[in-house]
Structure formats: C-alpha cells, structure tokens
Structure 1
Amino acid sequence: MSSRHHGITDDLRHQITTGRIKPGERLPSESELAGQYKVSAATLRSALAVLQREGLVEKIHGKGNFVRRPHRKITYVGGWGTLDPRTAAGADLRVTVRTTATVASGELAALLRVPTGSPLTEYLCLSHEGHSPHSMARIYVPHDLAPRSLPGDGSPSSRAETGFTVPIPPPAEVRETVSARLPTPDEATILRINSAAAVLTVARVAADMAGRVVEAALLVFPGDRVDAVFTTHHTTDERTTQE
C-alpha cells in the first residue's frame, strides 16, 4: 500500500510541476482518481494529503482538490500596520472585514488595559488572492472608539492597503512584537495551510497621547507570503551657537 501511495504522489507531482495540470485547475474527483490508479479511496487520500502538505494541492470543501496557485509576497509596513499598496495591488488582494461585538477577557483585557468584561469591537480582516485566503488579522478596538462603518465591512475592499487597519484616532505610540510560530488549528483552517507550516505574526498595540490603548491587533501571515519592513527615522538636535 505504501509503494502505491508514493507512486500516485510522484505521478501527480510530476504532472503538476511540469505544467500538465495547471495552477488553479481542478483535479478529477477522488473516486475518479482512485479508479484511475486502481487503489482504495484511503490510499488515494493519503497520496493527496502529501501533496497538500507540500503546498501543491489545495482541498476546498465542497468543491474538490485544486492545483494551488503560487502566492505572491506582500510587504507589511511596520510603525502603523499597513500593507504596502504596491505589493498588495501586485498580488491582486481582496480584503473582507467582518465586525463582531465582544468583551475583553484574559490576555486581551491585559493588552488593552481594560477591565474584564469591557465592551470591544472585533474586526476579522481576511485577505484573498484569487479564491485562496492569503493572510488574516484580528483587530480589537474599545467599543466607544470603533468607527461606525469601515471600508470592506462584510464585502471585498477595493483598498487592500487599508484592510489590516481601522480608522481610529491617530496613536502616539505603536508597539509591535514579531514572532514566528506554528499556526493554531483555527488559523490553519481559515488560511487553508498545513498545521506544520510556520506563520509570521505581528502583535500590534497602539496607544494615544494619554497612554490609553486604542487598538490591539494580531496579524497572521504564512511565512512564505510576506516581508515585514520597519523603518526608524532619527532626528538630529541642531543647536545654533552664537559667537
């Protein structure tokens, strides 16, 4: 069974990498493939699972298995959490935003420095490249600061660069913590990625002049889809001396 499993994987991989089966193309149904290779459904699914882990095949629930299109890289601009519009436009990203009322608890209450149970507005921002999820962000804002409407709320946004920010009062301080880790089961499901593939996360906390936290956000990018750029501007204190 093992050798047949690997033989199917090798054959399908060869067809994909040589372009015989093109990016975005739907594979025959699992029952058709099992009949074609004269193997059980379990053996066929094991072979497809290998290709899914390799990122060559994407299984879309209710639609079937598709050859995955290579995702383009975008640039995350640190300092105030935007997606570089040049790279976002190049990747043809569409951003949808889902708004939910929630309350602060646990780590979220600590990040926002508010009492447990304080009302918040959550924005789930999900970018798509074509039909495939690209990256995501969960943004939390105190309820009294949440804007009444947001571009892309509930529908595709025409401005990808605004997709991972919320128009709130300009912050005086932005603290971003960047780390690499494995995705949570929820993140792997939403982004349709292998649970063993590393993601780059940016935990962003913004505060106003009075020190009030106006936003806490967690951005998640599959590691092969983003470059994060942080620029520091130094000012020179020029003193004029009089002779």
Structure 2
Amino acid sequence: MTESVSSRRYGIAGDLRHQITTGRIKAGERLPSEVDLARQYMVSTPTLRSALAVLEREGLVEKIHGKGNFVRRPLRKITYVGGRGSLDPATAADAALRVTVRRTAIRAHGHLTSLLRVPSGSPLTEYFCLSHEGESPHSLARIYVPRDLTSTAALGDGSAYERMVLGFAVLNSPPVEVRETVHARLPTPDEASTLRTSPAVAVLAITRVAADSASRVIEAAHLVFPGDRVDAVFTTHHVINERRTQG
C-alpha cells in the first residue's frame, strides 16, 4: 500500500512537472485547487499534497497561504563575492532587485555581544533588509551596527541596500578585515515563510563580521539566501615575496 501511494505521488509530480517544463502550465499561473487536482488524479488530498511537496522541493511550485499553489517564476541567480562581503553589482542589477529596509534601535544581547565584542546592553542599530525580484522574495539580511557608527545617510533612499549589502552600512569607517562564516542548512520556519521557499530547500547562511584598523567590530550581519537564488564566489590572492639575490 505504501509503495502504491509513493508511486502515485511521484507519478502526479512527474505529470505536473512535464506540464510546467513544456509550458503547458505557464510560470506564475495558479494550479487548480488541491480538491480539484485530487479529483482529477483520483487520489486522496493528502496524496495530492505530498506530490505538490515534491515540486515545492524542486523549486517548481510555491504555495502561497490563502491563495493556492502557483508555478514559480524562475529567479535569476545573484553572485555573493566572498572576502569583500558584497554582491556582484552586475548580477544584482540583472535580477532587478527591489529592497525594503526597516531600521530598529536595539540593545546588544545574547550572541550579538560576542559577535560585535560589546557589553550586554550596548546600543545597536539593526537593519532588516528584504530583497524582491518582482513579487518574489530573493534574500534577507539582518545587519547590526554600533549606534555611534550608524550612518543616517543610509536610510530612506534607494541606495540603502547597495550600501548595506552590496557594500557596508558603515561608510565613514571602512573595514580592513572581513570574516565570513558560511553554512548550508535548512531554513528556519520564519525564514521559509518570509522567503516563500520550501522548508526542505537548503539556504546559504552567511555570518559576516567587519572590523576596522583598530580591530573594532564595526558591523555584523546575518545574510540568508535560498540555495537556488545565489552563487557564492571566494577568491584568494597569494602574496609572493620576491628576494633579490646579490652576486
């Protein structure tokens, strides 16, 4: 019985996948209701939902709460450039990202104290940045800056995201050291909901810490990119010391 249900699930997923990839069902189009699809394929609603879950994991279908299941529009990948802690401007421009930025005054607590090397309760500014390509969320970032380094010029204009994620939030104290920790993991429920991605699709999570010439941490950021929407490139430059041989 289990094998039969599994077979039906993948059979339905395969049929819908074929219709999507051949263009019979267009990108952005709403699929028939789950009840109608279950009736069409002569299966129970739970079996139908498990078939749709297969397509969600593949990134072909997205379920929007209260609206239904839609064929996902393919999102262009952007390139995250490691070592500089930035996005490649060309790929970001190609993806036509639109960004909302929310600023909040908070106090350092928990892991932020060690990340920013500040005492608990220190005043910080948190920037929550959510990028969209069209109507589809593309990536999110939470950026933390000591309050005395916060640049008010980075707020309320169209270049805020470029300054914060394509570059850095602190413009008057450029970093001399950038440390990035990269993890591939499953999204948290909040991340999956915000980014409208499947909980089963891995995200690229980057923790970025920038310090100035005095080794003071001037910014810490948590960046989250669904794995199908970003490539990360890290380049190492080796410095070779040349010694002249005197004869």
Tell me which residue corresponds to 1:144: 148
Tell me the CA shift for residue 24 of structure 1.
Answer: 1.5
Change (3 A) 1:180 1:19: same
Larger mean Cα displacement after TM superposition, 207-216 or 144-153: 144-153
Alignment of 1:1-243 (within 5 A): 2=5, 4-150=8-154, 157=158, 161-162=162-163, 164=165, 165-168=168-171, 169-233=173-237
Q: CA deviation at 1:220?
A: 1.5
Q: Choose 144-153 or 7-16, whichever is displaced more.
A: 144-153
Displacement of 1:234 in angstroms is 5.5
Mapped partners of 2:156, 2:96: distance in 1: 15
Q: Distance in 1 between matches of 2:240 and 2:87?
A: 29
Between 1:114-123 and 1:43-52, the stretch displaced more is 43-52
**TM-score if structure 2 supplies the norm length?**
0.83
CA distance in 2, matches of 1:73, 1:7: 30
Number of residue equivalences:
240
**Structure 1 residues 7 and 237, CA, compared in 2 at 3 Å: closer, same or farther?**
closer
Stretch of structure 1 that moved more, 214-223 or 183-192: 183-192
- Say if 1:8 and 1:204 are closer, same or farther in 2 by CA, change over 3 A: same
CA distance, structure 2, for counterparts of residue 149 and residue 63 of structure 1: 39
Calculate percent identity across the aligned residue pairs: 72
Q: Secondary structure at the match of 1:194?
A: coil
Tell me: CA distance 1:233–1:72, structure 2 relative to 1, closer, same or farther (3 Å).
Answer: same
**2 CA distance for matches of 1:17 and 1:7?**
15
Please give the alpha-carbon distance, in whole angstroms, between the structure 2 residues aligned to 1:87 and 1:113: 33
In the aligned structure 2, how far is the partner of 1:160 from the partner of 1:114?
Answer: 25
SS in 2 for 1:86: helix
Q: CA deviation at 1:158?
A: 6.4
Structure 1: any 5+ residue segments left out of the alignment? none
Where structure 2 has 5 or more consecutive residues not aligned to the other structure, the ranges are: none
CA shift, 1:8, in A, is: 3.0
More moved, 122-131 vs 177-186: 177-186
Q: CA 1:175/1:4 → structure 2, altered by over 3 Å: closer, same or farther?
A: closer
Q: TM-score, normalised by structure 1?
A: 0.84
Shift of the alpha carbon at 1:115? 0.8
Change (3 A) 1:25 1:139: same
Shift of 1:206: 0.9
Counterpart CA distance in 2 for 1:231 and 1:7 is 43
Say if 1:99 and 1:124, in contact at 8 Å, map to a contact too: yes
Quote the Cα distance in structure 1 between the aligned partners of 2:177 and 2:159: 28
**C-alpha root-mean-square deviation of aligned residues, in Å?**
2.9
